[in-house]
């Protein structure tokens, strides 16, 4: 979506042409990482091995186990990921939540801010100080740090190096795989395309996050059996065994000669309809299955759930919650509820990944109001999960993949509108907003040597683009640590400050699956 202000500020800044490549969504640079080689002296050689990160996580887990007072094990694990949900985003979102309820706001809490444990995770990637959602997904879902733009592969795979990515020796298993190997069920829920970087961390191995459908896989790579991400989800393990897949992204599954239920054209060049192929594959296994594409169908199917459920509610990402029609579009809490209902039927337990993926997109557009609202929606989804699950046998972990460069400026009185200007003025006598960004499309070119007054526009709507200090088409991620909240068995393992790649190892330990199985001292009722 191109916002008017974005265009105006770019024209004003004289930067009509992009100085760098952005991906097809216009949010992320797709050239970063690719120019660097594996020999870059900045990545210490041992870190290219996934075993390095596994040993690193397991040895610290041994130390942390001392602080762990829980005795049971986590039959179920639900991981919530707020994409780009920085600590400043949490602070501002909770304040907005309280102010919407007529309170001053600062004292309010998001649902997961009541959890007994909070820690901090370090999000840098192998070749980058500031993470993207691909390398970070490898860390928090597969337990090893990776190179920028790559998913589910070790540091031996540089961005765009498809031959290295298709080598099984470089592919990482995710915690969703570990759960399936232990006879538990697995599923993914997201507000982005189900083939987008974060959910893809649960099932894909790829040298580029942008290879979502066949046309995206660069010509030099097609001969190397590099399957596009949608194909991996439908036809490869562990994706084909996921019991629930709910999100957006129909276009990555449909041929470009076909339009979907809402009239949008597919993006595939190979003529394949992967939604039909998903249904056929389930038919061949003799399992019950259903494909749904709107909220009404989702509500109906939730009354009598099939064994396998695929829900694709938009051609691309789901709409921002504040811009969606709630008659036709499901909320993240509704999607989460259906997923948990479905997965809870397995007595062995399950792993579910739930992403509030558009917090990130709104921040990239400097649309702080939308970013905060998407965060509040994630909070509602966590609250729903907490209602449906028991603290005795279910671990809920809530975290972010990376930060953003939104900051909260002083000095406003207690209860001042978090979306509004600061009570103070700049040294130039012009107001400034409490929320602003280090960079992004919200940069305003000075007029007549004067900074533009940001309060001249209506900042109460969701479309208001918050000011940025440096002009950029798309605001950047931030490199600060992100928070990790935990509730349920072994929640105390998540306190402290640790590498993002430790997170799945700690979840697996609590659940006695994958690499956590052998060290598990809290014996589950059954192992396989
Ligand atoms: C939402 O969608 C329903 C069903 O298509 C329609 O009747 C209604 O007018 C829509 N509401 C808005 C606000 O657009
Ligand atoms: Zn992003």
DSSP states of 300-344 as a string?
A: HHTTS--SEEEEE-SSSSPPPGGGS-TTTS--HHHHHHHHHHHHT
Q: 3-state SS of the chain: helix, strand, coil percent to 5?
A: 35, 20, 45
To test the ligand 1 pocket, which listed residue (294, 327, 328, 330) has its Cβ within 8 A of the most ligand atoms?
327
Residues measured by CB to lie within 5 Å of ligand 2, the ion: 360
Mean local confidence (pLDDT), 468-492: 97
Taking CA atoms only, the protein residue closest to ligand 1 atom 10 is 325
The Cα–Cα gap between 313 and 298 comes to 10
Taking CA atoms only, the protein residue closest to ligand 1 atom 6 is 327
208 is annotated as contributing to ligand binding: no
Residue 470 neighbours by CB under 8 Å, 6+ apart = 438, 439, 440, 443
Report whether pLDDT(514) > 90: yes
- pLDDT per position as a tens digit, 360-369: 999 999 999 9
160 is annotated as contributing to ligand binding: no
> Quick one: which ligand is closest to 324's CA?
1
Taking CA atoms only, the protein residue closest to ligand 1 atom 7 is 327
Q: Are strands 76-82 and 289-292 parallel, antiparallel or unpaired?
A: unpaired
To test the ligand 1 pocket, which listed residue (294, 297, 328) has its Cβ within 8 A of the most ligand atoms?
328
Q: Where are the domains of the chain?
A: 2-27+409-471, 32-36+49-405+476-518
Show which residues are catalytic: 133
- pLDDT per position as a tens digit, 288-299: 999 999 999 999
Q: How far is the CA of 328 from the centre of ligand 1 (A)?
A: 7
pLDDT computed for residue 66 by the predictor: 76
- Output 401 or 225, whichever has higher pLDDT: 401
Report whether pLDDT(507) > 80: yes
- Which atom of ligand 1 lies nearest, measured to the CA of 328? 2
pLDDT computed for residue 33 by the predictor: 63
By three-state DSSP, how is residue 82 classified?
A: strand
Taking CA atoms only, the protein residue closest to ligand 1 atom 11 is 325
Confidence band for 34, pLDDT divided at 50, 70 and 90:
low
Q: How far is the CA of 477 from the centre of ligand 2 (A)?
A: 6
Taking CA atoms only, the protein residue closest to ligand 1 atom 5 is 328
> Quick one: which ligand is closest to 405's CA?
2
User: Dihedral through CA 293, CA 141, CA 34, CA 479, nearest 10?
Assistant: 100
Report whether pLDDT(528) > 50: no
Token output for 484: 């990790």
C-alpha dist (Å) from residue 244 to 190, 239, 341, 344, 405: 11, 10, 10, 11, 34
Q: How far is the CA of 335 from the centre of ligand 1 (A)?
A: 20
Instruction: Answer whether 109's CB lies under 8 Å from 89's CB.
Output: no
Report whether pLDDT(15) > 80: no
Report whether pLDDT(428) > 90: yes
Residue linked to tokens 């695929």:
310
Q: How is domain 32-36+49-405+476-518 classified at the architecture level of CATH?
A: 3-Layer(aba) Sandwich (3.40)
Neighbouring CB atoms inside 10 A of 103's CB total: 13
Residue 308 neighbours by CB under 8 Å, 6+ apart = 242, 243, 244, 282, 287, 288, 289, 290
Q: How far is the CA of 363 from the centre of ligand 1 (A)?
A: 28
> Quick one: which ligand is closest to 327's CA?
1
Q: How far is the CA of 404 from the centre of ligand 2 (A)?
A: 8
Q: Average pLDDT over the chain, rounded to whole?
A: 92
pLDDT computed for residue 65 by the predictor: 80
Confidence band for 11, pLDDT divided at 50, 70 and 90:
very low
């Amino acid at each position: 979506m191109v916002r008017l202000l974005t265009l105006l500020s770019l024209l004003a800044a004289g930067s009509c042409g992009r100085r760098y490549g952005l991906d097809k969504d216009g949010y992320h640079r797709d050239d970063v990482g690719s120019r660097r080689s594996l020999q870059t002296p900045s990545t210490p050689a041992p870190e290219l091995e996934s075993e390095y990160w596994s040993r690193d996580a397991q040895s610290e887990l041994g130390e942390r186990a001392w602080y762990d007072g829980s005795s049971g094990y986590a039959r179920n694990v639900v991981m919530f990921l707020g994409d780009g949900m920085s600590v400043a985003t949490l602070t501002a979102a909770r304040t907005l939540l309280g102010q919407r309820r007529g309170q001053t706001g600062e004292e309010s809490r998001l649902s997961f801010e009541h959890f007994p444990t909070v820690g901090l995770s370090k999000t840098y990637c192998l070749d980058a100080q500031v993470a993207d959602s691909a390398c970070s997904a490898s860390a928090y879902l597969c337990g090893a740090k990776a190179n920028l733009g790559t998913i589910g592969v070790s540091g031996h795979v540089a961005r765009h190096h498809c031959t290295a990515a298709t080598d099984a020796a470089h592919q990482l298993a995710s915690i969703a795989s570990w759960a399936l190997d232990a006879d538990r069920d697995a599923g993914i829920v997201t507000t982005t395309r189900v083939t987008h970087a974060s959910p893809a961390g649960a099932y894909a191995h790829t040298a580029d996050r942008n290879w979502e459908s066949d046309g995206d896989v660069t010509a030099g790579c097609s001969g190397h059996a590099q399957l596009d991400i949608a194909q991996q989800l439908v036809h490869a393990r562990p994706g084909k065994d996921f019991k629930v897949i709910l999100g957006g992204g129909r276009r990555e599954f449909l041929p470009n000669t076909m339009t979907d239920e809402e009239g949008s054209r597919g993006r595939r060049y190979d003529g394949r309809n992967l939604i039909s192929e998903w249904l056929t594959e389930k038919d061949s296994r003799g399992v019950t299955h259903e494909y749904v594409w709107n909220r009404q169908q989702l509500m109906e199917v939730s009354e009598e759930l099939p064994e396998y459920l695929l829900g694709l509610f938009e051609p691309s990402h789901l709409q921002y919650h504040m811009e969606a029609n709630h008659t036709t579009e499901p909320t993240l809490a509704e999607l989460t509820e259906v997923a948990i209902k479905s997965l809870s039927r397995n007595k062995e337990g399950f792993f579910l990944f739930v992403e509030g993926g558009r917090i990130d997109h709104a921040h990239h557009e400097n649309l702080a109001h939308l970013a905060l609202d998407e965060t509040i929606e994630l909070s509602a989804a966590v609250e729903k999960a907490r209602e449906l699950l028991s603290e005795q046998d279910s671990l809920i972990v809530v975290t972010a993949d990376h930060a953003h460069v939104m900051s909260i400026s002083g000095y406003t009185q207690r209860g001042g509108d978090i979306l509004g200007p600061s009570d103070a003025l700049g040294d130039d006598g012009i107001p400034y907003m409490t929320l602003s960004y280090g960079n992004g499309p919200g940069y305003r070119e000075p007029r007549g040597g004067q900074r533009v007054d940001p309060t001249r526009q209506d900042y109460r709507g969701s479309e208001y683009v918050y000011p940025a200090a440096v002009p950029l088409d798309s605001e950047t991620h931030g490199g600060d640590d992100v928070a990790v909240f935990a509730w349920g068995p072994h929640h105390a393992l998540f306190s402290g400050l640790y590498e993002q790649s430790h997170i799945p190892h700690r979840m697996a330990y609590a659940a006695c699956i994958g690499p956590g199985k052998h060290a598990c001292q809290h014996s589950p009722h059954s192992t396989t």
